Amino acid sequence: MDQSSCYPVLTVLTFFPLLAALLLWPLKSDLRVRQVTLIASVLELLLALPLIGFKAQAGFQFMEKRPWAQDWGLSYALGVDGISILMIWLSILTLPFCVLCSWTYIGRRVKEFHVCLLIMTTACVGVFSALDLVLFYLFWEALLIPMYLMIAIWGGDQRRYASIKFFLYTLAGSTLLLVAIVALRVTGGTFFIPELMTKGFSFNFQYWIFLALFIAFAIKVPMFPFHTWLPAAHVQAPSAGSVILAAVLLKMGTYGFLRFSLPLCPLASVHFAPMMVAISLASILYGGAVALGQNDIKKLIAYSSVAHMGFVTLGIFLFSPEGVKGAIFQMLNHGIITGALFMMIGAVYERSHSREIVKNLGLGKYLPHFMFFWGLFGLASFGFPGTNGFVGEFLVILAAFKESTSLGLLTIPGALLAAAYILKVTLKMAWGQPASPAGQSWPDLKKKEWLYLSLPALLVIYLGLAPTGLLNLIGPSVEDSLTQFQAKKDSVNVIYLSSPAGKPQGLIYERDLPPNVSAPAPEPELSAPALGAEPMATQGQEVK
Partner 1 sequence: MAGLNLNPGLLGPELVFLILVVILFGAALIKKPKLIGAILALCPLAALISAWWSWASLPGLVASPSLQFFGAYRVDGLSQFFKILICLGYLVAWFNSLKLPSLKADQKPDYYLFLTLSAFGLILLSSAAELVAVYLAMELSSYSLYVLIPKRSHSKAAAEAGLKYILFGAAATALALYGLSLVIASQQVTFISKLSGLDWSLASNPLAVVGLSLFLGGLFFKLALFPFHFWCPDVYQGAGNETAAFVATLPKLGAIVVLIRLAAPLSPGLELTDILAFLAAASITYGNLCALAQKDLKRMLGFSSVAHAGYILVGLVSGSPEGLAASAFYAMAYVLMNLLCFWVICRLSTDGRNLTYQDLNGLSARSPLLALALLAAAFSLVGLPPTVGFIGKLWLITSAWGHGYDWLVIVVCLNTAIAIFYYLSLVRHAYTEEDLPAQGAQSLSLDGSLISSLGALVLGLLVVLLGVLPGPIWSAVLQASQSLFQ
Task: Summarize as ranges the residues that interact with partner 1 (CB under 8 A).
Answer: 67-72, 74, 112, 134, 137-139, 141-142, 144-145, 148-149, 152-153, 159-160, 163-164, 167-168, 171-172, 175-176, 178-179, 182-183, 185-187
Q: How far is the CB of 250 from partner 1 (least distance, A)?
A: 20
To partner 1, the closest distance from the beta carbon of 135 in angstroms equals 9
Nearer to partner 1, 164 or 473 (CB): 164
Cβ(187)–Cβ(514) below 8 Å:
no
Minimum CB distance to partner 1, residue 252 (Å): 15
CB of 263 to partner 1, least distance (A): 21
Dihedral pair phi/psi, residue 365, rounded to 5°: -85, -45
Nearer to partner 1 among residue 2 and residue 71 (C-beta): 71
Nearer to partner 1, 74 or 297 (CB): 74
* Residue 65 bridge partners (DSSP): 77
Residue 486: CB minimum distance to partner 1, A = 30
Whole-angstrom distance, CA of residue 310 vs CA of residue 414: 10
Q: What is the largest CA-CA distance in the chain?
A: 79
Give the C-alpha separation, 508 to 271, whole Å: 10
Given the complex with partner 1, which of 186 and 530 has the nearer CB atom? 186
Q: How far is the CB of 220 from partner 1 (least distance, A)?
A: 15
Start-to-end CA span in the chain (Å): 24
CA dist 318 and 340 (Å) reads 29
- Quick one: angle between helices 110-129 and 133-142, nearest 10? 160
- Nearer to partner 1 by Cβ, of 180 and 332: the residue is 180
Write the DSSP symbol of residue 530: T
Q: Which is nearer to partner 1, 122 or 481 (CB)?
A: 122
Query: Residue 142 or 278: which CB sits closer to partner 1?
Result: 142
Minimum Å gap between C-beta 474 and partner 1 is 29
- Cis ω before 222 (30° cut-off from 0): yes
DSSP alpha helix (H) spans, 130-158: 133-142, 144-154
Residues 6+ apart with CB under 8 A from 299: 231, 234, 235, 355
Phi, psi dihedrals of residue 127, rounded to the nearest 5°: -60, -45
